[in-house]
């Protein structure tokens, strides 16, 4: 279904502090937990809800976890340029709504995108001042242990995810897209580091505008 349009009117709470934050990391590294913690820790942070063709489960909330759309609607949105980035992952499609993100940036919000490396490249191309953080595992072995520890998939699927994770990490390190890398060895420390980096960057940009 179509996403709601963004409004043009300025609000009393609007500021000039808008910043797009990209958080990426391989499957199993804990990026979603870190992303949600950053969102909770920064008052004006908003999380960008992706559109997806993935079937909705009983645990999913429309507009909170994803905007669930048909394949035809997704392709229509993509063709109309309504996504900042889109990707196909394990046979499902995901896309970041452009209009909503741009409206929130105009409002001065911290707009958080949790996307993969390929998506980060696409977004940075369009919004060069986006601030990008990549979450790393302490080691490859620890990442494999985490993937197995989730007990969600069979070993063959885990090995595919592990191979994809190693490829993504290599691409992130060599691509020049990410401003910072955080090793998630202890979750509380990784969250604190992410929040601190984001606050510092916004403060730096605020000072540069003066």
Residue 84 zone, left/alpha/beta (φ > 0; ψ -120 to 50; rest)? alpha
DSSP lists the bridge partners of residue 110 as 19, 45
Q: Which of 134, 117, 132, 123 is nearest to 171 (CA)?
A: 117
Residue positions counted in the chain: 210
* CA R_g for the chain: 17
Most confident of 10-19, 71-80, 145-154: 71-80
Token readout for 136 is: 């790393």
Rounded mean pLDDT of 141-169? 90
Q: Please identify which residue in the block is written with the tokens 């197995």.
A: 148
**Residue 60, φ and ψ in degrees, nearest 5:** -85, 140
Q: What is the pLDDT of residue 124?
A: 94
Q: What is the pLDDT of residues 10-21, one digit of tens each?
A: 677 778 889 999
**Cα–Cα distance, 190 to 34 (Å, whole number):** 7
User: Mapping DSSP to helix (H, G, I), strand (E, B) and coil, where does residue 11 land?
Assistant: coil
Sheet with 92-97, edge to edge strand ranges = 67-68, 51-52, 92-97, 83-89
Opening angle at CA 64, ends 60 and 70, nearest 5: 65
Pick the more confident residue, 210 or 169. Answer: 169
Opening angle at CA 18, ends 15 and 20, nearest 5: 165
Map out the domains of the chain with their CATH numbers.
Answer: 19-204 (3.40.50.300)
pLDDT above 60: residue 2: no
Residue 118: partners with Cβ closer than 8 Å, 6 or more residues away: 85, 87, 171
């Amino acid at each position: 279904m179509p996403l709601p349009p963004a409004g043009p009117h300025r609000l009393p709470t609007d500021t000039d502090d808008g910043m797009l934050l990209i958080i990426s990391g391989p499957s199993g590294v804990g990026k979603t937990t870190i992303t949600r913690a950053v969102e909770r820790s920064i008052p004006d942070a908003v999380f960008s809800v992706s559109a997806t063709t993935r079937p909705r489960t009983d645990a999913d909330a429309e507009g909170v976890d994803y905007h669930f759309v048909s394949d035809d609607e997704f392709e229509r949105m993509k063709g109309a340029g309504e996504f900042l980035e889109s990707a196909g992952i394990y046979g499902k499609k995901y896309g970041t709504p452009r209009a909503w993100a741009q409206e929130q940036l105009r409002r001065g919000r911290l707009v958080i995108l949790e996307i993969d490396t390929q998506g980060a490249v696409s977004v940075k191309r369009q919004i060069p001042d986006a601030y990008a953080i990549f979450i790393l595992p302490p080691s490859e072995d620890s990442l494999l242990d985490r993937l197995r520890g989730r007990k969600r998939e069979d070993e063959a699927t885990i090995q595919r995810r592990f191979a994809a994770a190693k490829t993504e990490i290599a691409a992130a390190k060599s691509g020049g897209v990410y401003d910072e890398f955080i090793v998630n060895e202890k979750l509380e420390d990784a969250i604190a580091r992410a929040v601190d980096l984001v606050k510092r960057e916004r403060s730096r940009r605020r000072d540069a505008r003066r």
